[in-house]
């Protein structure tokens, strides 16, 4: 194994992917710039560009580390001898540095993601009409319930982390797939021999990455092909809940960009008893009432929203007046 060539190829791969990452960071920053409605490139724009670079470079470092490790595992595992660790030490040190820097950058990226999510505006619009000219007759519990369901699906993932860790431990420790990373050629996956010489860092990194990726892909495919189709789709269920509750959701992830879930019920009133709810659902099922979509004879309830400055100013003014009237006094 020519370590110098592998070392050089690793740096070349990192440089090439980093160049593509800079272009991707520029595109993301431009999208954020246009959605935020800024007119000039200011310090927040430059800071956003740097944060995007941190996240992308962290991903690039992980991909390069995984790619080099898998390459070494495939092509040099059978060529392993006593001089292998001495020759590979330089490359191992480089990959170790990559992992440390990637961990730091991805930590910053996660903090950036949390800050972005915490600054999103979410507004619930209740379409329910008051009864008997009493403006206070509309119950707020439907809105509370919809908001609670939205909070629950915000942490939803198609890949269950606990089950993911269980599968990884099962594959590595029970099936003994980690034996492939042992510094002994004679030890195989199902071998009962003990790995006395320890594990090679590069081989172990490759096995860990392949195990994590493989189990994640299996979970994702099972969820999208089977669970989401035949058991439940949490996003669709939330949209149905909004329609049954007569509540729309307006989400702004930028100053002039957001999403809209149209939940206005075609029946007009949904704060009714169980008999009326079942009757309304029966009418919808048999096309005896209007559709749930925003437009006539349409079932489209999810929209990407791009607003103008006038709408944004009016939106901010309404919230400020509400805050002053109901919170401060």
Question: Which pLDDT tens digit goes with each residue over 5-59?
Answer: 888 888 999 999 999 999 999 999 999 998 888 888 889 899 999 999 999 999 9
Torsion of CA 122, 128, 132, 134, to 10 degrees: 0
Flag whether 193 is in a domain. Answer: no
| 145 plus 282 within the same structural domain | yes
Is residue 5 in a domain? yes
Range of the domain at 309: 121-154+233-328
C-alpha torsion angle, residues 98, 99, 101, 104 (rounded to 10) = 160
Ramachandran assignment for 246, one of left (phi > 0), alpha (psi -120 to 50 degrees), beta (any other)? left
Is residue 164 in a domain? no
Do the domain assignments include residue 131?
Answer: yes
* Residue 68 sits in the same domain as residue 132: no
Q: What is the pLDDT of residues 211-246, one digit of tens each?
A: 999 999 999 999 999 988 888 888 899 999 998 888
Task: Report whether pLDDT(322) > 80.
Answer: no
* Reported confidence tier of residue 77, pLDDT bands at 50, 70, 90: confident
10-19, 112-121, 137-146, 180-189: lowest mean pLDDT where? 180-189
> How long a stretch of residues is the chain?
329
Burial label for 248, CB within 10 Å (0-12, 13-18, 19+), is buried
Across the chain, what does the average pLDDT equal? 85
Q: Among 60, 93, 119, which residue terminates a domain?
A: 119
Residue 162: inside a domain: no
Confirm whether 308 is domain-assigned.
yes
Mean pLDDT of 118-130: 87
Tell me: do 81 and 142 sit in the same domain.
Answer: no
Is 305 a residue whose pLDDT tops 80? yes
Closest CA to 71 of 263, 220, 205: 205
Are residues 48 and 112 located together in one domain of the fold? yes
Whether 205 maps to a domain, the answer reads: no
Is 19 in the same domain as 125? no
Do 36 and 15 lie in one domain? The reply is yes
Q: Picking from 49-58, 86-95, 225-234, 298-307, which range would have the lowest pLDDT averaged per residue? A: 86-95
Reduce the DSSP state of residue 219 to 3 states and report it: helix
Q: Does residue 179 register a pLDDT over 90? A: no
User: Has residue 184 been placed in a domain?
Assistant: no
Identify whether the C-beta of residue 271 lies closer than 8 Å to the C-beta of residue 262: no
Q: Assign 63 a pLDDT band (cuts: 50, 70, 90).
A: very high
Q: Give the pLDDT mean for 261-270.
A: 84
Give the chain's domain count. 2
Both 17 and 131 in one domain: the answer is no
Residues 144 and 293 in one domain: yes
Q: What angle do CA 137, 140, 143 make, to 5 degrees?
A: 140
SS3 80: coil
Q: 102 and 31 in one domain?
A: yes
* Domain end call among 67, 100, 119: 119
- Domain shared by 5 and 100, yes or no: yes
Residue 207, pLDDT > 70, answer: yes
Q: Minimal CA–CA distance to 51: which of 9, 113, 96? A: 113
Question: Are residues 141 and 34 part of one domain?
Answer: no
Q: Burial letters for 169-193: b for 16+ Cβ neighbours within 10 Å, e otherwise?
A: eebbeeebbbbbbbbbeebeeeeee
Of 119, 134, 163, the residue that ends a domain is 119
Burial 110-142 (b: 16+ CB within 10 A, else e): eebeeeeeeeeeeebbbbbeeeeeeeeebeeeb
pTM: 0.83
CA neighbor of 206 nearest in space, from 48, 22, 64, 24:
64
Give dist(CA 109, CA 114) in Å, integer: 9
Cβ 58 vs Cβ 102: under 8 Å: yes
pLDDT for 329 beyond 80? no
Residues 47 and 137 in one domain: no
């Amino acid at each position: 194994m020519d370590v110098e060539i592998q070392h050089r190829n690793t740096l070349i791969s990192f440089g090439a992917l980093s160049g593509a990452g800079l272009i991707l960071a520029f595109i993301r920053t431009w999208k954020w710039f246009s959605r935020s409605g800024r007119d000039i490139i200011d310090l927040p724009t430059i800071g956003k560009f740097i944060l995007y670079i941190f996240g992308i470079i962290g991903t690039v470092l992980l991909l390069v580390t995984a790619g080099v490790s898998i390459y070494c595992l495939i092509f040099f595992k059978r060529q392993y001898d006593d001089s292998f660790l001495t020759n590979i030490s330089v490359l191992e040190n480089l990959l170790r540095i990559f992992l440390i820097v990637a961990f730091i950058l991805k930590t910053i990226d996660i903090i950036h993601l949390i800050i972005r999510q915490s600054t999103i505006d979410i507004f619930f619009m209740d379409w329910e009409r008051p009864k008997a000219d009493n403006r206070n007759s509309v119950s707020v519990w439907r809105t509370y319930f919809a908001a609670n369901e939205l909070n629950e699906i915000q942490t939803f993932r198609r890949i269950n982390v606990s089950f993911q860790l269980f599968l990884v431990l099962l594959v590595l420790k029970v099936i003994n797939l980690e034996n492939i990373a042992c510094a002994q050629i004679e030890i195989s996956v199902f071998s009962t021999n003990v790995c006395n010489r320890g594990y090679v860092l590069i081989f172990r990194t490759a096995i860990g990455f392949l195990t994590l990726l493989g189990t994640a892909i299996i979970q994702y495919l099972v969820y999208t092909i089977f669970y989401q189709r035949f058991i439940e789709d949490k996003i669709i269920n939330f949209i149905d809940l909004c329609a049954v509750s007569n509540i729309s959701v307006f989400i702004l992830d930028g100053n002039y960009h957001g999403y809209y879930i149209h939940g206005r019920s075609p029946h007009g009133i949904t704060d009714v008893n169980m008999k009326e709810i079942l009757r309304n659902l029966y009418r919808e099922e048999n096309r005896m009432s209007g559709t749930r979509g925003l437009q006539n004879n349409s079932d489209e309830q999810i929209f990407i929203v791009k607003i103008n400055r006038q709408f944004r100013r009016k939106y901010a003014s309404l919230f400020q007046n509400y805050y002053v009237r109901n919170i401060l006094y």
